[in-house]
């Protein structure tokens, strides 16, 4: 069983930056594909970014448009999401997720473990 702990959210003004972190328990972190998703009130969960086991393959949601960067540190068992040029429409609960596959995936149903979620609020 993998446990994920999210951190780094909060309140920021439009145009600002935040870095989310997600630390995983266990010793097989480097074998897993990882992802970030988000869910705003009244909306469905939305794909944000994903990265494969080595960090060599990444994909982003269309709305990211170069503003976010996903990265991983396999020695620290930690996944990151650097978010720049934040907009009020980025306000949501952000979730990290792990899938028992080395590949990246944009599909939430392919993930096996989820973090508890962390609130990101962007004020205008």
Distance CA 21, CA 9 (A): 9
Distance CA 36, CA 13 (A): 21
Average pLDDT over the chain reads 95
The dihedral region occupied by 63, where left means phi > 0, alpha psi between -120 and 50, and beta the remainder, is alpha
The predicted model gives 60-68 an average pLDDT of 96
The predicted model gives 90-117 an average pLDDT of 96
Q: Give the pLDDT of residue 19.
A: 98
Angle, CA of 31, 45 and 88, to the nearest 5° = 110
Q: What share of the chain in percent tops pLDDT 90?
A: 92
């Amino acid at each position: 069983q993998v446990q994920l702990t999210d951190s780094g959210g909060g309140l920021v003004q439009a145009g600002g930056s935040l870095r989310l972190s997600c630390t995983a328990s266990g010793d097989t972190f480097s074998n897993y594909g990882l992802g970030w998703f988000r869910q705003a009130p009244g909306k469905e969960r939305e794909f944000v970014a994903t990265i494969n086991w080595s960090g060599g393959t990444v994909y982003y949601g269309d709305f990211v448009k170069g503003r976010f960067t996903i990265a991983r540190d396999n020695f620290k068992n930690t996944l990151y999401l650097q978010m720049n040029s934040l907009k009020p429409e980025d306000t949501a609960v952000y979730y990290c997720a792990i899938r028992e596959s080395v590949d990246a995936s944009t599909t939430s149903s392919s993930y096996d473990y989820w973090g508890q979620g962390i609130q990101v609020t962007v004020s205008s």
